[in-house]
Each structure stands twice: as C-alpha cells, then as structure tokens.
C-alpha cells in the first residue's frame, strides 16, 4: 500500500519515473475530450471502435518489419506508424463494404472490428516466435500499461495531442455545421467529405497515441465518456468541449497516477474507470440535465400544485358558504374538502400535513379545518390567478369552457408575477374588480 507522500509525489508530478507518463495521459485526455465530442456529435462512435481494433495488425507487422531490418523492434514511433496504417486500412475496408454492397453500416463495422482484431492477435503471437527478438510488452497495446517512457516518446504524444486539440478548436465552426446538418453544410459549399476525413484523421491520431497508455480496447471509452458526461452540464457546444476536455484531462491524470501507485492495475482500465465515475457524477448531479436536479424540480412542482389545489378548494368551499355575500374565513368539514377534487383521503392528509407546517391551517378539532389568516390570503390570491387565467382562455383562446379548468390547472402553477400583471391589464375591462373575480364557469356543487 503506497503511503501519502508517494501519492502526492505521483499526483503532483514530482516523481521522475511517472511524471512523463502522467503528463502524457493528461494531455491525451484533453485531446480525447475535444476530438471525442465531435465524434459523438457526428454519431460515429462505433467507427472509432472499429478503428482502434484495426490498429493491432499494424503494431505486429511494424515490429516484424523492424526486426527483419535488424532493429530492436520496439521503437514507439514506428509501432504507432504501423498502427495508423492498419487503422486507416480498417476504415477503408469498412467504407468499401458499405459502398459496394448493400450491407448496413453496423455490419461493416462489426466485420472490420472482429476480423482486424483477430488478425492482430494471431500476428502478435507469430512475431513472438521470431528468434532473437523480444516481443514482450507488445500485448500492452491491447489493455494499456503505464510503462516508463522516454522523453522522445513523450514529445511525440504531447505534440500529436496538442495538434489534435488545437485543430479541433480551430475547426469548431466547420465541425459544428458538419455534425449538426451535413446536408445543409454541403448545400452551402462546405467540403463535407474533407471535413469528415479531417475529423476521422484527428480521431485516428488520438486513438494511436492513446494505444500505449489506454490500450486499443478501451481507447474508445476514453473518446466517448468525457463528452457524454460533459453534455449533462451544458446546452452549448463550446462549454461542452471545454468540460469534456477537463473531464478527459482529469481522468488521464488521476487514472495514470493511481495505476502508477498500484502497478498491478492496468492504466487503461483505471483511466476509463475514473472517466466512468465522472460520468456517473454528471449523470446524477449535473444541474442542467442531471437526473437528480430534474427529479427534484418535478417534485417541487408537484408539491406546489398540491398546495395550490388545496388552497383553491378551501377558498371555494368558504365562498360557497358565503353564498354571494362577502367571503370571510371560516371553518369547514374535512369531507367537504375531500369531495372537492379527486384525491384520496390519504393523499389529502399528506397535503394537509404540509399545509400545517407552512402555517396555512389553524389548529382545529378533528374533522374540521380552518385556514389561517396568511393561508386565507394566499388562497384568495391563488384562486384569483386561476380565474384570471380561465377568463383569459375563454375570451382569447377559443377554448371550450368545459376544457378550461384542466388547461388552467396546468398553466396557472407556473404563472409568474409579470404574466399575472399582463393578464390583469388584458382583462381590466372584463373584470373591473380586481379582488377575486367570480368563477367564469359554473362548477357543480359537490353537496348537490
């Protein structure tokens, strides 16, 4: 178990052995977050998956070629070049299948993914039997491994990640119109084919430099998880890109650090797990689209509706008892309230408990209810808004009066003060008296 000083050393990049690795996965995460956003919005995630699996044969073949030329065989740039070539070949095969046969896209992708990966695994096994060459460590490209890294390798990864990040921000507007509406983009003269190739090129670049740390199976998760998580926090593209880059960067930094501290954990898995945790946090808690804030909003609206229904029902009972005279607060039986709306006794008791807590009800003997003074004032206000809204609907919106009550019910709960003033201004001729106006439609008396 690593102690605290080890943890801080790794996280703060003070440990020489892990500094380059952690820095490279952080930069990689930023690039993946940016490029992955467009991949996600272009709805090409599966293509990215096929691409990454198709890189494996290239790694094995590049190794074999280097060994046969008398090299040591493990030069990272050469291996990544091989990965790029076979990844592009995989995509080309896929496009060929799609354009020459009637097979669907997902079939073509599945075919390329599995066949290329199979070829890769087989050729990896074969190059390990080459006498005199040590292919050990090549399989780390499958699951990812934070091995020690030489400065030139780091430079390559940092350069490619930086370039991919810059390009995706530079082409922000062009990628946006491509992803949102490619037909319209083409009609405006944007070279959509070139933009698609450029986007796929950026995806290829990020995938290839991610192979060593994250591994080809998980690199797609590194591309897709950060933007998916970011989408929960915002409704605009630029904030989404920046949040996605941040989530990707943090995943790369934390994931590689944790993996360096516990060497038995493969880096790719830890990085992707960190990203997944950030995704779950976003899914549940992001204020813009998260599950929990949405649920709380709905619950708050339901409570507000319940309270307003209760207050209006209570006011109408008191009003009926006044039978045309001035409406004054007075007590009424629980049953009268129960009959007012289609609520169950259990539901109504729960609503009444809330009303007591909010001081809308006075203490009364069991079976009787009486609004408090503030409760009565609030009830008059709620009823007045409801009737203003109903009158407006009848006068201006050609709604059959029999349907008004239900529609008014839905909207009135969200009427703001400004809208209420607007309603008053509109209806000032119809309702000179701005106290609670009489109900514009007869409602059946429950006692009758």
Partner 1 sequence: MHTESLSGQAVFPAKHTEPRPEHPPEVPLAIHDLTVAYHRKPVLWDIELNIPEGKLVGIVGPNGAGKSTLLKACLDLVPRTSGWAHIYGVPYRKARHRVAYVPQRESVDWDFPVNALDVVAMGAYRRLGWFRRVNKTETKRAMEALDQVGIAHLAHRQISQLSGGQQQRVFLARALMQDADLYLMDEPFAAVDAATEQAIVDLLRRLSGEGKTCLVVHHDLATVTSYFDWIVLINMRIVAAGPTAETFSRENLQKTYGGKLSLLEKAAEALRSTPR
Q: Is 101 in the site for partner 1 (CB under 8 A)?
A: no
Q: Is 171 in the site for partner 1 (CB under 8 A)?
A: yes
Three-class DSSP category at 361: strand
Pick the binder of partner 1 from 54, 179, 223, 361 (CB under 8 A): 179
Pick the binder of partner 1 from 89, 115, 177, 420 (CB under 8 A): 177
Contact stretch for partner 1 (CB under 8 A) within 28-36, 236-244, 332-340, 408-416: 236-244
CB 8 within 8 A of CB 22: no
Q: Is 188 in the site for partner 1 (CB under 8 A)?
A: yes
Binding mask 13-42 for partner 1 (x = CB under 8 A): ----------------------------x-
Nearer to partner 1, 176 or 354 (CB): 176
Q: Is 400 in the site for partner 1 (CB under 8 A)?
A: no
Residues 6+ apart with CB under 8 A from 312: 379, 382, 383, 386
Pick the binder of partner 1 from 107, 237, 352, 419 (CB under 8 A): 237
Contact positions with partner 1 (CB under 8 A) in 43-62:
43
Q: Is 297 in the site for partner 1 (CB under 8 A)?
A: no
Nearer to partner 1, 169 or 281 (CB): 169
Nearest to 25 by CA among 210, 203, 258, 266: 210
Pick the binder of partner 1 from 235, 344, 445, 447 (CB under 8 A): 235
Measured at the CA of 205, the angle between CA 202 and CA 210, to 5 degrees, comes to: 125
Q: Is 363 in the site for partner 1 (CB under 8 A)?
A: no
Contact stretch for partner 1 (CB under 8 A) within 64-72, 84-92, 227-235, 440-448: 227-235
Nearer to partner 1, 154 or 171 (CB): 171
Pick the binder of partner 1 from 70, 131, 132, 183 (CB under 8 A): 183
Pairing between strand 368-369 and 332-333? antiparallel
Output the six-digit token pair for 404. Answer: 């008004």
Three-class DSSP category at 7: helix
Contact stretch for partner 1 (CB under 8 A) within 167-175, 251-259, 304-312, 412-420: 167-175
- Partners of 368 in the β-ladder: 333
- Burial class of residue 295, CB neighbours in 10 A (0-12, 13-18, 19+): exposed
Contact positions with partner 1 (CB under 8 A) in 250-279:
none
Q: Is 194 in the site for partner 1 (CB under 8 A)?
A: no
Nearer to partner 1, 102 or 346 (CB): 102
Q: Is 413 in the site for partner 1 (CB under 8 A)?
A: no
CB 259 within 8 A of CB 270: yes
User: Long-range contacts made by residues 156-159, C-beta under 8 angstroms, separation at least 24?
Assistant: 156/76, 156/77, 156/80, 156/209, 157/24, 157/27, 157/28, 157/209, 157/212, 158/23, 158/24, 158/27
Contact stretch for partner 1 (CB under 8 A) within 92-100, 120-128, 232-240, 387-395: 232-240
> What CA–CA distance (Å, rounded) separates 149 from 349?
68
Pick the binder of partner 1 from 70, 131, 189, 429 (CB under 8 A): 189
Q: Is 422 in the site for partner 1 (CB under 8 A)?
A: no
> What CA–CA distance (Å, rounded) separates 212 from 216?
8
Q: Is 174 in the site for partner 1 (CB under 8 A)?
A: yes
Distances (CA, A) of 100 to 44, 93, 103, 113: 20, 11, 9, 18
Contact stretch for partner 1 (CB under 8 A) within 113-121, 137-145, 173-181, 292-300: 173-181
Contact stretch for partner 1 (CB under 8 A) within 142-150, 169-177, 346-354, 408-416: 169-177
Distances (CA, A) of 382 to 256, 287, 432: 58, 29, 18
CB atoms within 10 A of CB 122: 12
- Partners of 361 in the β-ladder: 371
Pick the binder of partner 1 from 44, 231, 386, 413 (CB under 8 A): 231
Contact stretch for partner 1 (CB under 8 A) within 62-70, 106-114, 230-238, 326-334: 230-238
Distance of CA 342 to the CA centre of its chain: 38
Q: Is 81 in the site for partner 1 (CB under 8 A)?
A: no
Contact stretch for partner 1 (CB under 8 A) within 10-18, 82-90, 178-186, 209-217: 178-186
CB of 224 to partner 1, least distance (A): 15
Output the six-digit token pair for 431. Answer: 């309702």
CB atoms within 10 A of CB 58: 27
Say how many CA atoms lie within 13 Å of 216 toward its Cβ: 29
- Partners of 333 in the β-ladder: 368
Q: Is 170 in the site for partner 1 (CB under 8 A)?
A: yes
Output the six-digit token pair for 168. Answer: 């995706």
- Residues found near partner 1 in the complex (CB under 8 A): 41, 43, 102, 170-174, 176-177, 179-181, 183-190, 231, 234-237, 240
């Amino acid at each position: 178990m690593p102690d605290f000083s080890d943890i801080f050393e790794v996280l703060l990049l003070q440990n020489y052995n892990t500094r380059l690795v952690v820095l490279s996965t952080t930069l990689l995460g930023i690039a993946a977050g940016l490029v992955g956003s467009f991949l996600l919005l272009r709805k090409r995630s599966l293509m990215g998956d096929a691409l990454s699996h198709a890189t494996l044969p290239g790694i094995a073949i590049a190794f074999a070629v280097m060994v046969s030329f008398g090299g040591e065989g493990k030069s990272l740039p050469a291996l990544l070049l091989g990965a790029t070539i076979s990844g592009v070949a995989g995509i080309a095969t896929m496009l060929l299948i799609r354009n020459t046969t009637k097979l669907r896209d997902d079939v073509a992708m599945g075919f390329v993914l599995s066949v290329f990966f199979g070829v890769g695994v087989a050729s990896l096994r074969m190059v390990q039997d080459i006498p005199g060459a040590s292919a050990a460590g090549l399989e780390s490209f499958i699951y990812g491994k934070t091995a020690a890294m030489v400065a030139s390798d780091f430079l390559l990864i940092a350069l490619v990640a930086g370039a991919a990040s810059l390009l995706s921000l530079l082409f922000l507007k062009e990628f946006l119109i491509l992803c949102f509406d490619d037909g319209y983009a083409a009609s405006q003269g944007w070279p959509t084919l070139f933009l698609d190739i450029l986007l796929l090129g950026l995806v290829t670049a990020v995938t290839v430099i991610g192979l060593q740390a994250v591994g080809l199976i998980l690199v797609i998760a590194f591309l897709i998880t950060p933007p998916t998580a970011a989408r929960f926090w915002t409704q605009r593209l630029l904030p989404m890109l920046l949040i996605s880059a941040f989530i990707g960067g943090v995943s790369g930094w934390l994931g590689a650090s944790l993996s360096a501290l516990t060497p038995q954990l493969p880096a790719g898995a830890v990085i992707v797990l960190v990203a997944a945790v950030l995704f779950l946090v976003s899914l549940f808690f992001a204020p813009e689209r998260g599950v929990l804030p949405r649920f709380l909003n709905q619950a708050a609206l339901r409570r507000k509706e319940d309270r307003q229904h209760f207050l209006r029902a209570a006011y109408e009972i008191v009003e009926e008892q006044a039978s045309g005279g001035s409406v004054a607060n007075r007590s009424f039986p629980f049953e009268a309230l129960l009959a007012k709306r289609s609520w169950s006794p259990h539901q109504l008791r729960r609503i009444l408990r809330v009303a007591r807590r909010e001081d809308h009800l006075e203490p009364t003997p069991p079976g009787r209810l009486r609004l408090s003074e503030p409760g009565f004032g609030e009830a008059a206000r709620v009823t007045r808004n409801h009737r203003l809204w109903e009158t407006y609907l009848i006068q201006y919106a050609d709604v059959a009066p029999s349907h008004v009550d239900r529609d008014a019910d839905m909207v009135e709960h969200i009427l703001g003060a400004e809208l209420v003033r607007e309603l008053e201004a509109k209806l000032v001729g119809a309702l000179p008296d701005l106290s609670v106006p009489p109900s514009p439609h007869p409602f059946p008396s429950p006692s009758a």
